Chains A and B, each alone.
Chain A
Amino acid sequence: MTLDAAWARRWMTQAAAALADAKDDLTELDRQIGDADHGVNLDRGFRAVVAKLEATPAPDDETVGAVLKLVATTLMSTVGGASGPLYGTAFLRAARVTDRAHLDPPAVIALLEAALEGITARGHATVGEKTMVDAWQPAADAAAAADEGTTREVLAAAARAADAGATATIPLVATKGRASYLGERSAGHEDPGARSTAILLATAVAAVEEP
């Protein structure tokens, strides 16, 4: 099974719905260790993404990369907080390696690795600093390790690893991002960016099948 531009569009619709549901939870996580805007910002950004996609008719030869590029520029323009340029750059780098109609498992792995690379390039964070990298890095690693599987299995492995990675940020002390201002007091709370990454990747899996 390969993934096409219609999958990418379904992914964004489902991501917007899931992030809208999680808006208050994400904002609550961010209130504890940040500036309480992560849920609201992502909800605004992904709503704008869905509106933009609905207003942009899909050409017959639409590539996955074309959808992801539209997602990237929309997030950069509308999210408002640091997650805008971070997720925006992730989707932009992912778009550059997915400019084709269908993604096979190696292309899905490349998408996730490019997204991770975009986030680390923009945010200068590494694993263990209590940021979204703590979800993206295990996701990309797990995808690469699942390279014998179908596209769905690759994505599912990435989503499971992102979920575990997000949970594993709870005891960490933040050294990057807004939460780092809190130092030791940031321990005991899950990083909102790592959690939203897990939500985003879970919807990538759910979007594989037509609803």
Chain B
Amino acid sequence: MSTALVLVSHSVKIAEGVVDLAGEMAPDVPILCGAGTLEGGLGTSVDQVTGAVERALVAADGVVVLADLGSAVLTVESALDLEDGWSGRVVLADAPFVEGAVAAAVTAQQGGDVAAVRAAAQEAGTMFTPEPVQVLPPPAADAPVTARVTVANPLGLHARPAAQLARAIADLGVPVSVGGVDGSSVLQLISLGATGGTELEVAAHGPGAPEAVRAVVGLIEGGFGEA
């Protein structure tokens, strides 16, 4: 029983990159790219998907398809609708594109069938289950230094500013909480979903705490260079 993968993205570059990455971990698994429009531009095309799946079915008994954003999923579903002959041999995994492809490829390399490979891909999605917010180190005996700050840039703590803030806080060497989460964790900062105008509490303890809180407040008020 052999299983191939077909990767469907709006971007040929994204799909080809993931083909490389997953292929390195699963050298014997056919991994095909069904990405981009017919002209190779950004988008998806049923023809690209169908062509890749047909080629994959020549090389393997079954095919697991992974898709990235919205219309990629719709396009794969449309292809599955059109091709009655694939029944059961071709399935779409509801999985994160990169992590799912890597997990699926490794399982396929071990000889997993379509169901096992899809399960491996989908299990990769559980990596993203929101973790309980980490409890900060127990408060020191002295009172915390706190300040309230209003998020200045309209888009708030999205990925880039969150990463900038987390790096800055890690560099301070003093644990600082922002909105009740660990300020040195980019994922926890993003999980706040703090958009422009949101008020957040910044808190720190111990030596260096006042300076650290001031620095963090300054960064957030500065808007991370965004209008």
A128 on the B face (CB < 8 A): no
CB nearest neighbor in B for A69: B82
Q: Are B70 and A77 neighbours in the complex by a CB distance under 8 Å?
A: no
Q: Are A80 and B70 neighbours in the complex by a CB distance under 8 Å?
A: no
B184 on the A face (CB < 8 A): no
Chain A residue contacts of B71, Cβ below 8 A: 80-85
Q: Are B44 and A88 neighbours in the complex by a CB distance under 8 Å?
A: no
B79-101 vs A, Cβ < 8 Å mask (1 yes, 0 no): 10110000000000000000000
Chain B residue contacts of A178, Cβ below 8 A: 70
- In angstroms, Cα B74 to Cα A85, docked, is 6
Task: Determine chain B's interface SS by DSSP, over half rule.
Answer: helix
A92 on the B face (CB < 8 A): yes
Q: Are B70 and A89 neighbours in the complex by a CB distance under 8 Å?
A: no
Q: Are B37 and A78 neighbours in the complex by a CB distance under 8 Å?
A: yes
A122 on the B face (CB < 8 A): yes
Please give the distance in Å from B38's CB to the nearest CB on chain A.
6
Chain A residue contacts of B38, Cβ below 8 A: 77-78
Please give the distance in Å from B46's CB to the nearest CB on chain A.
4
- In angstroms, Cα B76 to Cα A84, docked, is 11
Q: Are A78 and B45 neighbours in the complex by a CB distance under 8 Å?
A: yes
B24-46 vs A, Cβ < 8 Å mask (1 yes, 0 no): 00000000000001100111111
Contact of A41 with B43 at beta-carbon distance under 8 Å, contacts A123-B74, A177-B70 already known: yes
Ordered nearest first, which 3 A-B pairs have the shortest CB separation? A80-B43, A82-B71, A85-B74
Residues of chain A touching chain B, judged by Cβ–Cβ distance below 8 Å, are: 37, 41, 73, 76-86, 88-89, 92, 122-123, 177-178
